Structure 1
Amino acid sequence: MNQKKGCGVIFAIPDLGGGGAEKIFVSLIAEFKMRDVKLLCLLGSNQKAYDLPKKTRIIKIGTGSALQRITRICTIVQREKPKAVISFRPQMNLDMIVARMKTNIDRLILTHHTTMSSMGEKADRYGSLVRRINRFYPLADTIVAVSEGVKNDLVRNLGLPTEKVSVIYNGIDVDKINRLAGETVREHPWFNEAIPVIVNIGSLRYQKGHIYLLRAFAKLRRKTECRLVILGKGPLAGDLKLTTKRLGIEKSVCFLGFQKNPYKFLKRASVFVLSSVCEGFPTAVLEAMAVGVPVVSTDCKSGPREMIKNGVSGILVPPANAAALADATKKILLEEEYAKRLASRARKEVDRYNIQTCADRYIALLRG
């Protein structure tokens, strides 16, 4: 790699772990490269669940102290002289703002992917982060919120100036998703059997509400034969597996971990269920819509309600309500024509969330 080459745009993120921010980061880089945009990718660590496009220039800045990270960023920016930087996730966003004070970043765009005020009892941990966001985010040219709900959270609850925040919905590559959805599922026999399979995708963390999903599934199993497959990894994996045993559903629930190709599982699901207590803009919902699978989702403060028209292109239920989640899922499983109608309408609506439109919006921001 020739480090002396300059670049037009720097994309920066702490790591490529298996979350939604990381997925759209990789998708945008792929789309920008298709448009021959000269770019550089800055990564904080080697953690990787997603692969960057071939021949993407990558520089690792390490995971040391904030001073070490910022010093490394400043060195890279001074050498590369980018026209713009697009930064992902709060830690990198804050590092980039400080680096901008010391260098010549012409245009800095920060992206924000979740609602900080929805952390519930965990909110105290984020007090320091929220204060730094309030202080430093306005120094960027634009903060991109991935949904109107996230924008409202940033403006109303975190005090950011509304004129600084733009909404750009995450985009997906519908054709690529459906191509990958055609791959054979060899990881588990349930997808080749007649019993309905419910699929959930999400990191195994408090915010994703898996405890309510498992309670809902336990209620549903008393009335309807079905199975549950959960794709994702996270710190609550052990606790959730113990919960399945406590609820007596361990033989009907399978944790398959993180999957690079979740679409082949989605395609063969009877229903996709999102159980989150808070979200930004859950791309997994769009992916389920894209492969023609009916969706049941919690109606978080942001995200799902901006994608789904309740009773038309999916079903929305109150968060943290296992009974409502069970009833909605049961309706999908038992009413075949209704489920088909929801999936058909959702498939038509998902095209407006394409990655090309998403990239167009970012490029417009880069141009000012």
Structure 2
Amino acid sequence: MKKIGILVPYLKNNGIGRVAANMSNMFVKNGYSVKLILNSKVVDFNFSGEIIDLKLNFNKETNCFIKLKETILWIKKIKKIKKQENFDVVISLGARSDLVNILTKEKEKVFTTLHTNIEENYNKLYRMLYYLNIKYSDKVIVVSKYFEKYLKNKYQKFQQKVVCIKNSIDIELINSISLEKLDESLGENYILSVGRLTESKGQKHIVKAFYKLKDEFKDHCLVILGDGNMRSELEKIVENLDLKEQVIFLGFKKNPYKYMRKARLCVSASYFEGFPMFFLEAMATGCPILSTDCISGPREILTEKDISDKLDYSQDFEYGFLVENFLESKNNIEEMLYQKIKDILLDVEKNKKYRDISKKRAEEFSEENIYKQWEKVLK
């Protein structure tokens, strides 16, 4: 039995934590021994295997000397664990985890991963160090074709190391817990937004687009799942627009699927993404997706169009709905969202059609299908 280590800071309310948990479930189901190596035993997601708790409660320090000291301590602990555990493969998630993984390489294969836009989300130091990451990794697993193209163009010498394997979802689990009872006061006439409440997620544009809808859809509300540093600002926007009765902040939810299943539409207004898990999860419950055509991920989920193609955003796409990338568009952001949301809500047949389409599309990202790709690189 092959032993896999998954190196990730936490299994908490963020994208890579959810991806790591899903990975552990997929690998254990397929006969691997899995150990999740966490800085702290903070767990929000269902996982399989064992946890190795490093008991490293790092603060979000900006001081580079403190960060260096923390990283050295992390490296020492990981090096010791790798010698003890004799892993066949260690897969890391996150920029800092990737760095620690390559710097502690023993006899095991080291797989680093890329889940986000390097240019937007990596600081200057990690961007500079990324050459080491790709040089000393056995494989670099990227979650989108955009990232694959980016790395292969920038690091042509190491092209053979870069492999695109998209995130997987446990459809059976999602469908099962999506049936949990929902607060009856929500009803079924609501639009859903899911994600960290940050500037780059663009929730303020969704709120402002919803404001344009409020008179035409008085019985609808906007439900926002997630927490983050923009929450107080978003609440002020809601208050200023007199939307307190129609915009509901529910914070982070361990089970977002029951909200997805009943929603009429899930809307994303991100400026950039990696490969958004909640798209796949919402689609698995039958919830249609409307998103900005940002870098990267949404286009690869919602259409078969190539990442280099010029799109006609007035049309509906094969698996969902897209509006222009806000960072490149000269058009009014809220107006684009408003018009598209209105069209989807008014057209009952279209909404029903895309609920069925979404479910079928989500099946392509099932654990069974995605594992076939992992199996090739784990041999």
Above 0.5 in TM-score?
yes
Aligned-pair CA distance for 1:134? 2.5
From 224, 227, 251, give the equivalent of 2:221.
Answer: 227
Q: Deviations over 1:279-336 (max 9, x none)?
A: 1111111112111122111111210111112433211011332211111111111110
* Cα distance in structure 1, aligned partners of 2:4 and 2:292: 37
Percent identity for Structure 1 against Structure 2 = 27
From 17, 24, 28, give the equivalent of 2:19.
Answer: 24
CA contact (8 A) 2:208 2:334 kept: yes
CA contact (8 A) 2:40 2:53 kept: no
CA contact (8 A) 1:205 1:235 kept: yes
- The corresponding residue for 1:65 is 70
TM value normalised by structure 2:
0.87
- The corresponding residue for 1:322 is 334
- The corresponding residue for 2:173 is 176
Structure 1 stretches of 4+ with a deviation exceeding 4 A read 156-160
- What does 1:290-305 align with in structure 2 at a 5 Å threshold? 290-305=284-299
What SS does the aligned partner of 1:199 have?
Answer: strand
From 213, 217, 221, give the equivalent of 2:210.
Answer: 217
- The corresponding residue for 2:115 is 113
* Cα distance in structure 1, aligned partners of 2:157 and 2:245: 48
* Cα distance in structure 2, aligned partners of 1:8 and 1:301: 34
* Cα distance in structure 2, aligned partners of 1:28 and 1:133: 24
Unaligned regions of 5+ residues in structure 1, if any?
1-5
Aligned-pair CA distance for 1:366? 1.8
From 256, 270, 293, give the equivalent of 2:264.
Answer: 270
Q: Deviations over 1:102-155 (max 9, x none)?
A: xx23211111111122x3xxx6x7111111113333210111111112223334
* Cα distance in structure 2, aligned partners of 1:327 and 1:204: 23
CA contact (8 A) 1:199 1:269 kept: yes
- What does 1:49-64 align with in structure 2 at a 5 Å threshold? 49-53=44-48, 56-60=50-54, 62=56, 63=58
* Cα distance in structure 1, aligned partners of 2:342 and 2:248: 19
What SS does the aligned partner of 2:91 have?
Answer: strand
The reply on whether 1:341 has 2:341 as its aligned counterpart is no
Amino acid at match of 2:111: I
Structure 1 residues 160, 220: CA separation in 2 closer, same or farther (over 3 Å shift)?
farther
Aligned-pair CA distance for 1:356? 2.2
TM value normalised by structure 1:
0.89
From 34, 57, 82, give the equivalent of 1:39.
Answer: 34
What SS does the aligned partner of 1:300 have?
Answer: coil
From 144, 147, 152, give the equivalent of 2:149.
Answer: 152
Amino acid at match of 1:189: S
* Cα distance in structure 2, aligned partners of 1:159 and 1:207: 30
* Cα distance in structure 2, aligned partners of 1:280 and 1:172: 15
CA contact (8 A) 1:313 1:342 kept: yes
What SS does the aligned partner of 1:65 have?
Answer: helix
* Cα distance in structure 2, aligned partners of 1:208 and 1:297: 11
Q: Deviations over 1:327-358 (max 9, x none)?
A: 11111111100111122222222211111222
What SS does the aligned partner of 1:233 have?
Answer: coil
Bigger shift: 307-316 or 259-268? Answer: 307-316
- The corresponding residue for 1:3 is none
What SS does the aligned partner of 2:123 have?
Answer: helix
- The corresponding residue for 1:14 is 9
* Cα distance in structure 2, aligned partners of 1:171 and 1:328: 28
From 247, 253, 256, give the equivalent of 1:253.
Answer: 247
Structure 1 residues 61, 359: CA separation in 2 closer, same or farther (over 3 Å shift)?
farther
Aligned-pair CA distance for 1:156? 4.2
What SS does the aligned partner of 1:251 have?
Answer: coil
Amino acid at match of 2:70: S
Structure 1 residues 283, 229: CA separation in 2 closer, same or farther (over 3 Å shift)?
same
- The corresponding residue for 1:81 is 86
* Cα distance in structure 2, aligned partners of 1:61 and 1:362: 30
CA contact (8 A) 2:134 2:158 kept: no
- The corresponding residue for 1:311 is 317
- What does 1:125-140 align with in structure 2 at a 5 Å threshold? 126-140=123-137
Aligned-pair CA distance for 1:157? 6.0
* Cα distance in structure 2, aligned partners of 1:311 and 1:66: 45
- The corresponding residue for 2:368 is 356
Structure 1 residues 142, 263: CA separation in 2 closer, same or farther (over 3 Å shift)?
same
* Cα distance in structure 2, aligned partners of 1:154 and 1:47: 32
Unaligned regions of 5+ residues in structure 2, if any?
59-68, 304-315, 327-332
Amino acid at match of 2:322: L
Structure 1 residues 156, 239: CA separation in 2 closer, same or farther (over 3 Å shift)?
farther
